Amino acid sequence: MSGLSFLLSLAYLGLALWAPGALSNLFGLGALGATALLRLPPQTRILNLALLTLAFTLGLWRSGNTLGLIGLVGILVALSTLPRIPTWIRALLGLAILLISVPLAGFANTFIFELGIQIGIYAAMALGLNVVVGMAGLLDLGYAAFFAVGAYTWAIFGSPQAQNFMQGNFPLPGEYMYPFMLIAIVTTAITGLLIGLPAVRLRGDYLAIVTLGLGEVVRILANNLDHPINLTNGPQGITPVERPPIGWFEDLIGSLGIQLDATTDYQLFFYLLVLLMIGLVVLVNLNLANSRFGRAWAAIREDEIAARSMGIPLLPTKLIAFMTGAAFSGAMGVIFAAQRTFVSPESFTLLASITILAMVILGGMGSIPGAILGAATLTILNLDILKTFSEFVRTNLPQIPSQVDPAKYERLVFGLILVLMMIFRPTGLIPERRHRAEMEEE
């Protein structure tokens, strides 16, 4: 068994060297599957994973085929879920993938940076929503509203937009983005308080409906606050939004011997920035889960009445969960606005809220690696697989009408994922310990 899987991995490394592309990457995914599912001794498994990391990196670097990225995500999942792998190896391989493999792949195909950034932004938001839904058990269907508030906070002041209602020199220079991330955390936390104060008094279903309604209110406001005072520029959205200057960053990577064009520079910069943010969010999440609040949230989630009888103050505890989740989303909103240099109400619809919710549920409510995996899966599915599949259908099967274009059926796919997950695996792909125990009890 172990010899076979080792040979498979080695074969893929050869393939990645001599014939990189979609087919060899598909073979690599097979080899990864074999490594993860066969009963292997830990040493073989570690060796295999390291070989596969090298091979996927090579394949990505030489061909830019995005299937390789799925392989890398798979290796990350394997690292975080497979038993008996020493921590230092996990950390080393994980960092190598995030800091070396993905950037190398990105130089070959900048779309991979774009994917990485989007996955990162969504992952950070899914982690934020995970605090609300997963830890505290409050179903929030208006989460994109906080993202919107964060994005507009920077978009309005980081573009000439603010001149419409304020004296002063706008746009603010790009380096103001960093303090604005803090400001956005404050504004979204306040929005979270405003939405949460009426909403969290309600239970379960009603809370969901009310957050959905208030989320829509924020979107309607973004859509219509172009008169009487032009705050948000209405449906046209705001563009261009300033980006932080990255001269120091160019010097830094230049001294490492990497010379890039301006676009790729920014992509790499935002990729690393998003990684840093995820690191921070994960740290905060871990600390919260083990804090007084984390335990209070779990208690409320399991049994509200029992929690109240134990002296946990319901309203403040729930509100803090709501505000924490909102704040994460606000900070990511600022990065989102700067990275795309464009903000419009289109990005903050109910679909966006549900997408983030689907990420949390797919990964496993309350589970940190789960939320990240959920974000990666759905973003790759939506931005890459469905689009590639559409292109494939269009070029190879032109007799199929364009109305069946798979890229247009994002909702169908998300909907099916939600329904099937709820029926067959409500704990998610990487369940959290306590959630799993809870579900098994039933």
What distance in Å separates the CA atoms of residue 146 and residue 245, rounded to the nearest whole number?
26
- The 251-270 site mask, x for binding another protein (CB under 8 A), equals --------------------
- Residue closer to another protein (CB basis): 109 or 355: 355
Q: Show the tokens assigned to 398.
A: 């032109």
Q: Is the peptide bond before 228 cis (omega within 30 degrees of 0)?
A: yes
Beta-bridged to residue 238, according to DSSP, are: 343
Number of residues that bind another protein (CB under 8 A): 49
Q: Is residue 337 a contact partner of residue 154, using CB atoms and an 8 Å limit?
A: yes
Task: Measure the CA–CA gap between 177 and 192, rounded to whole angstroms.
Answer: 21
Stretch that binds another protein, among 68-76, 108-116, 241-249, 419-427 (CB under 8 A): 419-427
Cis peptide before 240 (omega within 30 of 0): yes
Q: Which stretch binds another protein (CB under 8 A): 8-16, 154-162, 337-345, 434-442?
A: 434-442
Tell me how far, at minimum, the Cβ of 424 lies from another protein, in Å. 9
CB 232 within 8 A of CB 225: yes
User: Burial level of 351, CB count in 10 A (0-12/13-18/19+)?
Assistant: middle
Site string for another protein, 163-202 (x = CB under 8 A): -----------------------------------xx-xx
Here the contacts of 263-269 (C-beta below 8 Å, separation 24 or greater) are 263/110, 264/106, 264/107, 264/110, 264/113, 266/339, 267/106, 267/110, 267/113, 267/114, 267/117, 268/103, 268/106, 268/113
What's at 207, amino acid-wise?
Answer: L
Quick note: the x/- pattern for another protein over 211-230, rule CB under 8 A, is: -xxx-xx--xx-xx--xx--
Burial of 343 (0-12, 13-18, 19+ CB in 10 A): buried
- Specify the residue for token string 């906070």: 153
Helices and strands, counts by H and E, the chain: 20, 0
With 0-12 / 13-18 / 19 or more C-beta atoms within 10 angstroms meaning exposed / middle / buried, residue 283 is: exposed
CB of 395 to another protein, least distance (A): 20
| Residue in 37, 169, 205, 399 binding another protein, rule: CB under 8 A | 205
CB of 348 to another protein, least distance (A): 15
**389-418 residues near another protein, rule: CB under 8 A:** 401, 403-404, 408-409, 411-412, 414-418
Give the list of residues 6+ apart from residue 345 with CB closer than 8 angstroms, or none: 148, 219, 222, 223, 232, 234, 235, 237
Cα gap 373→426, rounded to integer Å: 16
The answer to whether 311 contacts another protein (rule: CB under 8 A) is no
* Spatial separation of the C-alpha atoms in residues 80 and 367, rounded to whole Å: 12
41 part of the interface to another protein, by CB under 8 A: no
Least distance in angstroms from the C-beta of 196 to another protein:
11
Residue closer to another protein (CB basis): 255 or 403: 403
Minimum distance, C-beta of residue 43 to another protein, in the bound complex (Å): 40
Q: How far is the CB of 362 from another protein (least distance, A)?
A: 11
Please give the structure tokens belonging to residue 237: 């959205």
User: Min. distance of Cβ 22 from another protein in angstroms?
Assistant: 27
- Contacts to another protein from residues 350-379, by CB under 8 A: 350, 354, 357, 361
User: Minimum distance between the CB of residue 224 and another protein, rounded to whole angstroms?
Assistant: 5
Q: Would you say 209 or 385 has its CB closer to another protein?
A: 209
Q: How far is the CB of 432 from another protein (least distance, A)?
A: 14
Task: Please give the helix or strand (H or E) that residue 42 lies within, else none.
Answer: helix 42-63
Fill in the per-residue mask, 103 to 122: x = in contact with another protein (CB under 8 A), - = not in contact.
--------------------
Q: CB under 8 A: which stretch of 64-72, 203-211, 263-271, 324-332 binds another protein?
A: 203-211
Q: What does the alpha-carbon distance between residue 21 and residue 8 come to, in Å, rounded to a whole number? A: 17
Q: Which of 141, 151, 334, 356 binds another protein (CB under 8 A)?
A: 141
Residue 422 interacting with another protein (CB under 8 A): yes
Q: Which is nearer to another protein, 94 or 426 (CB)?
A: 426
User: Would you tell me which residues interact with another protein (CB under 8 A)?
Assistant: 133, 137, 139, 141, 198-199, 201-202, 204-206, 208-210, 212-214, 216-217, 220-221, 223-224, 227-228, 305, 350, 354, 357, 361, 401, 403-404, 408-409, 411-412, 414-419, 422-423, 426, 438-439, 442
